[in-house]
Structure 1
């Protein structure tokens, strides 16, 4: 029965790892009930001595009854007995819960369906642990299902697993291993109780003596606790693991080779989760000098592996910090298009969590914001490894190109200088999709015409906007384009970007927000305005957004098709073409691209790829190394500091009574001296520590007089040193054995003389070690750890003694 209880506790302790996935705590209590149901079933199986294969079936039945009572009691007989109606209700809730998981990003709201799935999953883990540990007696293998619980938050959340939750889960597993070990030892007979601290001494002649089994008894616990400590401390010195996306088509998280300096959440999880929130919540508000709505981009995803779009790690150097002046020039922007300068004030809600990228109109040229924010040269995404966007207010100035269809047509044939990754596609693209891209653009004379035809393919009326879509793979891409043609902005943006690359137009996918709605004198952007759109590259203009997602009541309400992609107007004259969501306005004078070019811009080919966003390298490397070395030195000097404090406390005024005797003899001196001669105890304790530090530890059988004689003869003390150590030994013996020890003279000089004589007999390395890493202090720290471990033994002994008493009664 011990193993059954330990298995349930281990499973429930591991369930604590799931708490960051939820917004509330009802899942916790529901899961606790499911684990208790499994434990009750296991105890019944053990009591009835059922075969191993029957125990999981009994547990499944108990969990079924429990979940019926918790979630479908209204359709059950007597509230707990399952019926056909209750089974149908549980199946419906499971389907709703699975759909909710696909809709929401962590932390998810605690709907009935999600809570049912969580409680059922924890119950299955508990059943697997009980089967392996209590039935098959393979407690070590029971760690595998417990590990399955840890992989859920590790693969979904951008943040690392909380170390308190990890320690709790690890303690649960160690408790299971300890219970299994006691069960195995118990088969050999009754456990022998040995108190490690019980010894026979002259002061306790009646104490029982026994063999010293402390090392054997404590070794397992020492290994377990040491393993937990290493598991918590070592990862702090190693690169952090990034989450693995479960989304395989559309817009995913960062691509391969993501860095470890910043956590980049899966954009699609947040995108779809925000779009399907039951209530609209305000994300940010903004106002600009021309009072026009604009798309606000957060991420630019540039790599496609056949299943999902991912993001090459952005690189932000100190030269490209926002407080250093203008940002790098927009890639590809030449002197031909008119450029409109707009200043936008943005206020981000403080309810946004873990957002380290700024929502910005494209292309940003200068940002006024507090904190360490940096721009990626290629994409002009602005991010921080130290700060978050929640609650910030900042001003951004943009230089927006206003291309005309004629200008875009004239740029066709110009070889793009953009990175080849914006054209790269895997060989696994289905041939039907390649044929579709060719067919859609076969009559296009320029790249611009091809791009417009691709956009019209999606907005022409054959596609339907719906959030109720699933599937992210090559087959899902083929089904979306050729068969059902139903999806939301994720599928529309990713599909158009893939088709554009197939016809030779560089493309990427943007994640952010549409322009929102006008409320008062500011534009208000909510969770329902979360959006994804493609950006296509034209040499001489740069990156331009397109809008394939249907808008209006039949699609994304605030999505707007850019004016430069609409049919050419009948009237002559040059049309002004703003960015998506904006309208025509007067433009500023053209700006020479050489004048706009940031002299601090770095050549991307010359930047060393670090595998991720760099840490704050504003401080020189030698400074960072110095700080790390200083911190390490402080940790290593803790024993030396403790030894210095102890020695000063004793030597400063040897009349102070010692509070932590080094051994039994020192304790007896301290107790017998009372308040009259406490300096003797302090001097003797300090002498004992000095001997231990120099490798001359006093033998337990040595009397003070024998110790003084041995030191004088073995180390050839001079007359003064011999007299000093003899005086200390004589004072100790008088305090111990004389009825009236009399007045003891000052011992500070005697102790100093003995310490100098001892130091002269050892090597310089030994003296250095005695100062920096004193063995006497390490001995006390080790003893403290052993006493902490003894607490667990005391609890076990109390339980076993109670059992023995019950048996005797």
Structure 2
């Protein structure tokens, strides 16, 4: 099997399989693993058999490619083969699957669902990587170059997972690659000429301190140290956001950080941030018997502080109840209708669950749930994929809504009347302009909603301005609410926040709600997507409770205002009778321009990955750059460890030499070792003159180079054999000239190996390691000596 190079082929195949391991963080479930490993095994087997038949790398690579195609047809194309062979129908089937894989990658973030297309794409990609690695590492004997395709495959996972990979992924891949590299290095070293007899097992019969096994021992130590450093250093050195490849799976113009796994809305909202490309990945689907759809609420936020919304601590009593007590504030005389909603395939992560409000009955199967006593928000203890609720659609009368703005404000409503102090002056002036002094609670709410939605000149945009002009034409950077009210540019979070603060200033308790718009209908089933995430204000009315309003302008998503929030079109008209064409229907929530509302918040996977917290400007970036430069300096110094150790060892030997003869001998030994590092090794036991003739012949020395070599040999012979008291010449300059001449005729990789991996340096590090080991072992040895002495004394 030597021609087939079985061991090298297996290691190359293992490397290809190991770099595919991190893909388990991108696709779930991991059903693609076995067929992908089968593809790698096909490449290994075909490569081994092919090398036993021919030495043509083209024929072997072609055979491996054919093997991958046949294996792909047998594994992924069953039902599309012609007598077991792929044909045109197989190509069409694979094309459909690969298109499906592309759409999955574009629309999902990690972990994306493992569809048949994903399984095929991963199998083919890793199969091709295995062919390239096998060709470079086995056929070309260049395992270092084979690291490039392996690194590419590894970076696909590292740059798209959205979170830091487990260090074991890197350690496994790095260890296999170093094994492949070390095996090739030892094989190359053994091909160097030597006169040391070998045993039948291939080991030198004499003790091998300076040969292949010495190199292997030091290499293993450096490899382990390198892996440890590669894992530890990134922990303490900051890094830039992962934007050097494709900035995360699903970060196309159609996608964002939602996945087929679990989806959640952050319970903390930052008004200064938005997502530019929300995903169209489905969140849930449902059916309902309601004529007028309502958004599905996920959470409620009460406290606004430092441009951020935060929730109050929850108070939930979990259980499996099927009936729900209505809110205490809801009066029995409020007109209402009961509807049912049945949800399937929900991907929302616990404790959140999307539901209308107020709830009447619930069916969540074996999932325990409850209502937050402070907000009446439904929460679950574990994710519910399928569930159903019945809920009330309230139709408050004009009389019940026309209450004074100075109603119930005690108890839990105190926080819901607090206005942001930084923007309170501006909010107060706007309320005085927009809301009549004698307006009732509903009239004030309608006036504020109309001002933000239509009359105030506000514009919906995902691109938030950072500054605004003052009266003198100068740029200012006010707080987030003032920036929105002055620039009049924002999206749903800004519109909802502005209405909450204006309503509070007008004396109406208000809070922020987050959730999803009703979605799009298809044959009676509504699909809610990540791009339907939304935020809206809820205002409190005595005897009714919390009612939804919609200040975000229409024409963006289908942000339809509730009928009761719209002013009557004619005097005396009941606002609740407003046509559903303007107030109640829900059609396509996607905006005509194709953009998407960033929804209620920065949307995130439940794994918690947020894009990097380091900016490209300011002191933080300068700190990062300094750390990166420090890391580069540390890496450079690490690469110089062996050459500097060799120079230090040589200088120390010269410094401690007792006389000139010893110095000449040290310089001669250093020259032979450096030339040996270049791959030119004279027969063991050669005299200086024999070694000189060998160097002249092997390195094609001539002219001044030959003269320098002769002076070196003559100097060594004089130092060894001349009578005591004879003059000994310094040969250091000539030894350097000889080494330079030999280096000039050697291959580049030999020169690099001699420069960065000198024998003197390896011996120095081995001695230092042994010295450290002796120091560490000294207390144990002393303890052993003490114990032995005590045993002898007792005896």
**Which TM-score tier does this pair reach, normalised by the shorter chain?**
0.3 to 0.5
TM-score by length of 1: 0.41
What TM-score do you get using the length of structure 2 for normalisation?
0.42
